[in-house]
Chains A and B, each alone.
Chain A
Amino acid sequence: MFRKKLMPLFFVMLLILSGCAGFKTGDSKSADSGDKVVIDFWSFWGSEIRRPVIDKIVADFNESQDKIEVKHTFVPWGDIWTKELAAIAAKNPPDVVINDINATALRGQKNQAMNLSQFLEKDDISDRFYEELWNATLYEGDSYGIPFNTDTRILFYNKTAFKEAGLDPEKPPATWEELWEYAEKLDVKNGDTYDRIGFYPLWGVNSDVWMLNSDGKNFFDEDGAPIIDTEANRETLEWVLDWHEKYGANTINSYKSQIDSQQGNPFFNGKLAMYVNTPTFYTQIRDYAPDLDFGVAMLPEREPGSGNTSWGGGFVAEIPQGSKHPEEAWEFIKHLTDAEAQEYWAVKNFDNVANIEAAENAAKNSEMPDRDKVVYQMAIDNMENTLLTPVPVNAPDFMNLVNPELDSILLGKKSIEQGLKDAQQSLEKLIEKSK
């Protein structure tokens, strides 16, 4: 009797349990729609401008195919990679994902991204891309992601201000010394405050870009040993501190928030004469200061002959580990990074693409206004000088140790020598520990 009465309850229990078991996600993904294989593509391009462009590229691919259908899923910036990681751990990842280029090797090492060499053996597309970008995707010689887009840092300068200061608007500063001289001439001081600032190196980029620029060397050498406590880095930081002293902390801090605020950037209204940023900063000039007469140049070199080294990053398309349709994903990645799709992306978004042919075609594309072309061409030319800084796989979080030291130096809490020495030591310790 006891059992009989309990029976319905056990059924309820079973129902609940089976209900739980029935929640399986991702069934739709592996199911074929018609006779097509549906693959899932994740990107963070959800903005009004970017979304239609990527959707068009996906639609073009789908139209050209009778076997594969790509479903584009927008996952917001900030969530996309933690979500991807969770999906990989749950063995239900997307088939293609857009990810940060500088940590591609790390994801390869950690088994998050798929080794693409099996596909590259059949069709080698590596020569489509800038060499520096391609190398950043390699871990132990194998590629784990295909470069999609990139960026570099260039100098923007205000031609009107140049004319006012008696400088030749077609002759941007070529060395650090000239940069300083020009800035002195471009400064407009009104009592204690500045009506115009010539140049300040830490708006738009950080001091690590200038250290890279000064001797073309990263924080790690080819063997992965840290090289941060160097003569060139000491000189660079001295130079940065000179600028800091020149304008004073108050002026610098009060400009800082305006620079970060997009439409309030003092470069737009002529309150800042020279400014370093990515070529895509141009789209903001186009939107917020359409009448500004400006020029673009490579980053000045520390001294004649030291090189105009600049820094860049970018994104890759990769196949997460555990993708159920890697073959099809590869087909789509090829489409995503071929010249046609890349040129379309470049022109519509004014973005630097990884495909060399596409970039060069975009710079000549009739859809681009002349002013756009000038900036775009500079971006392409500057790829020659652009270094990427892939994170070392044995010390991916090294900047956690370096940044505070650089902060301390710039805030005057530590001497340059001491700060760099401490940074060097803590990096050596970190590398030692992770061996």
Chain B
Amino acid sequence: MRKKLNYKRMEGLQGYVFILPWIVGFIAFTAGPLIFSFAASFTNYNITSQMDFVGFENYENLFTADNLFWTSLYNTLYYVLFSIPLTTAGAIFLSALLNQDVPGIRFFRTIYYLPAVLSGVGVYLLWMQLLDPGTGLVNTALGWFGIPGPNWLFDPDWTKPALIFMKMWSVGGGMLLYLASMQGVSKSLYEAAKIDGASSWQQFRFITIPMITPVIFFDIVTSLIGGFQIFQEAYVMSNGEGGPVNSMLFYNLYMWKKAFESFDMGYAMAMSWILFIIVFIITIINLKLAPRWVHYEGEER
């Protein structure tokens, strides 16, 4: 008996040793900085010269004295609130279309996925041209239908819609996930439904959608986390300013400015922890709500 226990412990230890590189990496590059940033959020840390404990001053200033904090939070929530339902719906719609068995479907699948491969600054610069109010393709196209296009990135009321619109362009990543999960739905379900006389829409509504809810859930949770971290788009398209009228001053952009332009690192770290808590709470709510609508095959209730 004792020997067996030793063997088990032995095995456990070996396991730990094997994952040791990861543990070391985690402590050095993730947990360490996390703890440090939490501690530093209670200081006036500015990287080079000072790190005095200031208690909750950073947090207090954020909530009581900093209008830009609220502006950036509002902008970010606005973006998340609109972009996530739209991109999720868009991706499901596209994947439903691409889940058909028609000739040349592979070509379309590739085409629609392509934008997800292209990303980064180049794409944003491209979109700045497309969204140009005078010469851009978007307004030119709207003009064909007699619609006067807005000033997009120059009009504070339209900058966020413009970014959300742009986000729709890259639904290919989500689409691929949905496509894979749709193809995994058992054909027998559809056959049974057809025998019962279900229309295509009914099949989609009552078979496809419930069967892919785990993927929808996964997609929503990850896009929410990603959406709260929007930075690059706004940084490039507003020239690092967040304007006009702070309409593109997203949370992370403001945090970045605080950290690297005014060197208020402690303040920025307090901001990052507030964002963490917000995203954490939203994710928990998501997880709690999930059992009500997410369907897992073979799950016991």
Chains A and B are bound partners: yes
Q: Digit string of B117-135 for contact with A (CB within 8 Å is 1, else 0)?
A: 0000000000011001111
Inter-chain contacts of B262 with A (CB < 8 A): 396-397
Inter-chain contacts of A49 with B (CB < 8 A): none
Instruction: Known contacts A6-B13, A254-B134; decide if A20 and B243 are in contact (CB<8 Å).
Output: no
Q: Which residue of B lies closest to A19 (CB)?
A: B21
Q: Is A111 on the interface with B (CB-CB < 8 A)? A: yes
Q: Which residue of B lies closest to A408 (CB)?
A: B245
Q: Is A263 on the interface with B (CB-CB < 8 A)? A: no
* Cβ contact within 8 Å between A411 and B245: yes
* Cβ contact within 8 Å between A249 and B135: no
* Cβ contact within 8 Å between B261 and A407: no
* Cβ contact within 8 Å between B133 and A250: yes
Complex CA–CA separation, A404 to B132 (angstroms): 21
Complex CA–CA separation, A85 to B249 (angstroms): 23
Summarize B's interface: helix, strand, loop or mixed.
Answer: loop
Inter-chain contacts of B17 with A (CB < 8 A): 9, 12-13
Q: Is A122 on the interface with B (CB-CB < 8 A)? A: no
Instruction: Known contacts A81-B260, A85-B260, A89-B48; decide if A411 and B156 are in contact (CB<8 Å).
Output: yes
Complex CA–CA separation, A249 to B135 (angstroms): 14
Question: Smallest Cβ distance from A401 to chain B, in angstroms?
Answer: 8
* Cβ contact within 8 Å between A16 and B21: yes
Inter-chain contacts of A12 with B (CB < 8 A): 17
Q: Is A25 on the interface with B (CB-CB < 8 A)? A: no
Inter-chain contacts of B20 with A (CB < 8 A): 13, 16
Inter-chain contacts of B155 with A (CB < 8 A): 411
Complex CA–CA separation, A12 to B245 (angstroms): 58
Question: Smallest Cβ distance from B131 to chain A, in angstroms?
Answer: 9
Inter-chain contacts of A403 with B (CB < 8 A): 241, 243
Complex CA–CA separation, A120 to B258 (angstroms): 33
Complex CA–CA separation, A111 to B263 (angstroms): 11
Complex CA–CA separation, A254 to B136 (angstroms): 9
Q: Which residue of A lies closest to B46 (CB)?
A: A110
Inter-chain contacts of A240 with B (CB < 8 A): none
Inter-chain contacts of A426 with B (CB < 8 A): 67
Q: For chain A, which range describes its interface: under 10, 10 to 19, 20 to 34, or 35 or more residues?
A: 35 or more
Inter-chain contacts of A255 with B (CB < 8 A): 134
Complex CA–CA separation, A59 to B220 (angstroms): 56
* Cβ contact within 8 Å between B243 and A112: no
Q: Is A88 on the interface with B (CB-CB < 8 A)? A: yes
* Cβ contact within 8 Å between B6 and A20: no
Q: Is B244 on the interface with A (CB-CB < 8 A)? A: yes
Inter-chain contacts of A20 with B (CB < 8 A): 24, 28
Q: Is A413 on the interface with B (CB-CB < 8 A)? A: yes
202-258 of chain A: CB within 8 A of chain B: 249-251, 253-258
Complex CA–CA separation, A379 to B266 (angstroms): 42
How many residue pairs, one in A and one in B, have C-beta atoms under 8 Å apart? 98
Complex CA–CA separation, A17 to B249 (angstroms): 43
Of the residues B47, B67, B243, contact of A407 by C-beta under 8 Å:
B243
Question: Smallest Cβ distance from A154 to chain B, in angstroms?
Answer: 23
Instruction: Known contacts A17-B24, A112-B48; decide if A253 and B129 are in contact (CB<8 Å).
Output: no
Q: For chain B, which range describes its interface: under 10, 10 to 19, 20 to 34, or 35 or more residues?
A: 35 or more
Complex CA–CA separation, A12 to B13 (angstroms): 13
224-275 of chain B: CB within 8 A of chain A: 241-246, 249, 257-258, 260-263
* Cβ contact within 8 Å between B135 and A254: yes
Interface core residue of B6, B61, B245 (most chain A CB under 10 Å) = B245
Question: Smallest Cβ distance from A139 to chain B, in angstroms?
Answer: 13
Inter-chain contacts of A171 with B (CB < 8 A): none
Q: Is B188 on the interface with A (CB-CB < 8 A)? A: no
Inter-chain contacts of A89 with B (CB < 8 A): 47-48
Q: Digit string of B1-29 for contact with A (CB within 8 Å is 1, else 0)?
A: 00000100010011001001100100010
Instruction: Known contacts A9-B17, A13-B17, A88-B48; decide if A256 and B246 are in contact (CB<8 Å).
Output: no
Interface core residue of A9, A110, A404, A408 (most chain B CB under 10 Å) = A404
Instruction: Known contacts A82-B260, A85-B260, A254-B133; decide if A2 and B10 are in contact (CB<8 Å).
Output: yes
Q: Is B68 on the interface with A (CB-CB < 8 A)? A: yes
Question: Smallest Cβ distance from A195 to chain B, in angstroms?
Answer: 15
Q: Is A321 on the interface with B (CB-CB < 8 A)? A: yes
Complex CA–CA separation, A204 to B156 (angstroms): 21
Q: Is A24 on the interface with B (CB-CB < 8 A)? A: no
Inter-chain contacts of A9 with B (CB < 8 A): 13-14, 17
Instruction: Known contacts A16-B20, A110-B49, A253-B134; decide if A407 and B244 are in contact (CB<8 Å).
Output: yes
Instruction: Known contacts A2-B10, A9-B17, A17-B24; decide if A257 and B245 are in contact (CB<8 Å).
Output: no
Q: Is B35 on the interface with A (CB-CB < 8 A)? A: no
Complex CA–CA separation, A258 to B151 (angstroms): 15
Interface core residue of B46, B154, B243, B249 (most chain A CB under 10 Å) = B154
Q: Which residue of B lies closest to A10 (CB)?
A: B17
Interface core residue of B28, B132, B155, B262 (most chain A CB under 10 Å) = B262
* Cβ contact within 8 Å between B65 and A110: no
Q: Digit string of B188-206 for contact with A (CB within 8 Å is 1, else 0)?
A: 0000000000000000000
Give B contacts to A, CB under 8 Å.
Answer: 6, 10, 13-14, 17, 20-21, 24, 28, 46-49, 61, 65, 67-68, 128-129, 132-136, 151, 154-156, 241-246, 249, 257-258, 260-263
Known: A2-B6, A88-B48, A407-B156. 5 other contacts (CB 8 A): A9-B14, A88-B47, A256-B132, A256-B134, A407-B245
Could you list 10 examples of A-B contacts with CB < 8 Å?
A6-B10, A9-B13, A89-B47, A255-B134, A400-B246, A400-B249, A403-B241, A404-B246, A407-B244, A411-B245
